[in-house]
Structure 1
C-alpha cells in the first residue's frame, strides 16, 4: 500500500482527499498547510497526521506520493524537492508560473526515478473522451477549425479573501493561468500540436484589485494548418458552461459543459452526457477521481507512464507564457514567492 500526503488543505484538496479515501491501495498518512488549523481539520475528515511544515512532513512521514494543492508559486519548488527524494508528484495546475520554473521542473522530472503528473482532469471527462475518439475515427472528416469560450464570474471578494490570488508573485497570472488553462489544454489535446499563438490580455473589470489579467483572447495556428480562436474572461455574471467547438469537414462537435453535441446541417444530436455529480465546485468537473485513478495505475508495477506527465502537463503553460511575453510581462522583474517551510 502506498503512502500519500496532501500539501495545501484548501478547497481543491478536499476533492483529492475524497478520491484517496475511496482507494484501497493508498493510505493518506499526512497533510500540510501553512495554517495549522486547516491541516488539522483536513486530517480530522480524511485521516493522517497534520503538519504546518512541508519539509517536516517529508522528513518524518516519507510519503510515496505527494499531491500538491498549494498556491501556484509553490508547485515547482515543492515538486522539485519531492522528485529529488524519489517521491511521485501529482500537481494541481499550473505546472509552473514562469519559464525559469518550467525549465527547472522539466530538468528535475527527467532526472528523477519518480513520476510527475499534472491535474488536467477535464481530459478524463466522458464527453471529452468521446470527442477524442470520434476525431480519431475520422467519421466526420478532417478537422478544420477550433473555437473555445470561457465566460465565468470572479468578483472582488474572490481575490481579497485570498492571500495569493490575483498576484504575480504567487498566482503568476489571472484568467489564463487559473481558470482557462484547462480549456487551452483541451484545445491542444483535441486539436494537436500548436505551432504559434498570438493574442491580447487585459484587466477590464478588476482594475486596482488584481495585478493580473481578467480577460484574454488569442489566435492559435496548429501544425496541421488548423486555426483556433480562444476567448476567456471572468467578467461575466455567472459561470457559464465552457464551449469548445471542433469544426470538421462533415460535422461539428460541440463540447458544452458536460455535454457533447454533433451538428450537421440543421440537425443537432446529443452524443454524450456526463451524469456524474462533481464532488466539488461544478466548474471543476467530475473527473478528478478518474485522473487520480489513472495516475496510481501508472505507478503500479508494469504500469505505463502517466499520460499527463511533465511534457504534456507543461505545454499549456508554455502557450500562456508566450501570450504574457507578447503583452509585456517581464519575468525578470517579478520576484516569485517560492519559499517553502
Structure 2
C-alpha cells in the first residue's frame, strides 16, 4: 500500500484527494493545513476521519510513515516543501507552478537528483482528451509542418479571490498573476506543440484590480520559435478581467490546415475544406471547475502507475523546464520592456 499525505486542504487539495482515494493500492493517511479545523473537515470528508490531522508538513512527515506527499499549498511553499520531502526520500506530487524564481527551480532540480524519491508536476491539461485528439491530428500529418499558433485565456477573478486567500495577489507569495496562476497550463500546451521560443516579447497590465493586487491581471506575449525570414510564431493572451470563465481557446496552424481547441471540442480542417470538422470529448468526468479541463485524475493516476512500474513520468521536472523558463522570460520581457 502506498501511503500518501496531502499538505494544503483548500479547493485544489480536495481535487487531489478525490483522485487519490479512487486509486487502488493508494491510501490517504495524513492531511495537513495551517488551519487544523480545515484539515479535520478534509479528513472527515475523504477518509471518514481515518487520515491523521496535522498543522504542518513537518509534523506530518515526522509522525507518519509516508511514501508520497501532495503539495497543494500557496506558490511560495511549493519548492521548500518538495525539497523537504525529497530529502527524506519521499516522492512528491506538486501543484503548479514548479517554482516562482529561477533560483528555486535549480534548487528543485538538485534536490530531486540527490533523492531516491521522484517528483511529479500537475500539468494536467497534457492529459485532457482534447489534447490527445490534437496529438492524433498532428501525428496524422493533416496540418503538415506547423507554422504557428495562438491561445486565449479569458477568465474572471474578483477582489475577494485575492483578499480572502491571504497569499494570492502578492508578488512574493504568488510569484505573478494571471500567467503563473491561471494560464500556465495553456502556455504549457502551446509550447508542447511548438517547442522552445528563440524570441519572446511581452506586456502586462493590471486593469481591474488596481490597489488590490501587486500582480498582473492581463498578459500578452509574442513568441518566435525559429530563426528565419518567416518564422514560426505564436500569440498568447490571458486575462482575469473578463466577465466570466470562458472556455480556453488554443489554435495551431500549418502548411496544410488548422486545428482549434475550444473547451471540450476540437475543430480541424485543411485549407481546401470550407467547413471545420468537429470532435467533442466524450463525457469525461471533471473534478473541480469545468474550465480547468478533465485531466487531473488521469494525471495523478499516471504518476502512481509510473511509481509502481518504475517508468518515466510524462510530467517530470525536466519536461516542464521549457514552460517554466519561457514563463520567466515572458515576465522578464514585460517588466524590462525589452525582447
**TM-score computed with the length of structure 1 as normaliser:** 0.93
Instruction: For residues 31-69 of structure 1, give each alpha carbon's deviation from its aligned partner in whole angstroms, at most 9, with x where no partner exists.
Output: 100000110010011121110011010011031011110
Secondary structure (helix, strand or coil) at the match of 2:78 reads helix
Q: Determine whether 1:313 maps to 2:331.
A: no
Count of residues in Structure 1 that have an aligned counterpart in Structure 2: 328
What's the CA shift for 1:144?
1.0
Unaligned 5+ runs, structure 2: none
What pairs up with 1:18-33 in 2 under 5 angstroms?
18-33=18-33
**Corresponding residue number in structure 1 for 2:242:** 236
Deviation at 1:274, TM superposition (A): 4.2
- CA RMSD of the aligned region, Å? 1.4
Indicate if the aligned counterparts of 1:127 and 1:274 stay in contact, CA closer than 8 A. Answer: no
Gaps of 5+ in 1: 330-341
Cα distance in 2 for residues equivalent to 1:69 and 1:125: 20
Moved more, 233-242 or 193-202: 193-202
Give the direction of change, closer, same or farther, for the CA distance of 1:33–1:314 in structure 2 (3 Å limit).
farther
- Aligned pair 1:286/2:286, yes or no? no
Q: Distance in 2 between matches of 1:320 and 1:4?
A: 31
Q: 1:251 aligns with which of 250, 254, 257?
A: 257
Shift of 1:317: 2.2
Deviation at 1:250, TM superposition (A): 1.8
Q: Which runs of 4+ in 1 moved over 4 A?
A: none
> How many angstroms apart in 1 are the aligned matches of 2:58 and 2:320?
25
Q: Is 1:208 aligned to residue 216 of structure 2?
A: no
**Superposed, which structure 2 residues align to 1:1-341 within 5 Å?**
1-47=1-47, 48-223=51-226, 225-264=231-270, 265-301=273-309, 303-328=310-335
In 2, the alpha carbon distance for the partners of 1:208 and 1:214 equals 12
1:159-194: CA deviation from partner (whole Å, max 9, x where unpaired): 111101101111111000100100110011122232
- CA contact under 8 A between 1:130 and 1:272: conserved in structure 2? no
Of 255-264 and 206-215, the range deviating more from structure 2: 255-264
Task: Measure the CA separation in 2 of the matches of 1:154 and 1:25.
Answer: 38
1:259-289 CA deviation, whole Å, 9 max, x = no partner? Answer: 1111334211113424223121112221111
Question: Quick check: 221-230 or 259-268, which moved more?
Answer: 221-230
Q: CA deviation at 1:140?
A: 2.3
CA distance in 2, matches of 1:163, 1:324: 23
Q: Is the 8 A contact 1:196 1:221 kept in 2?
A: yes
Shift of 1:223: 4.3
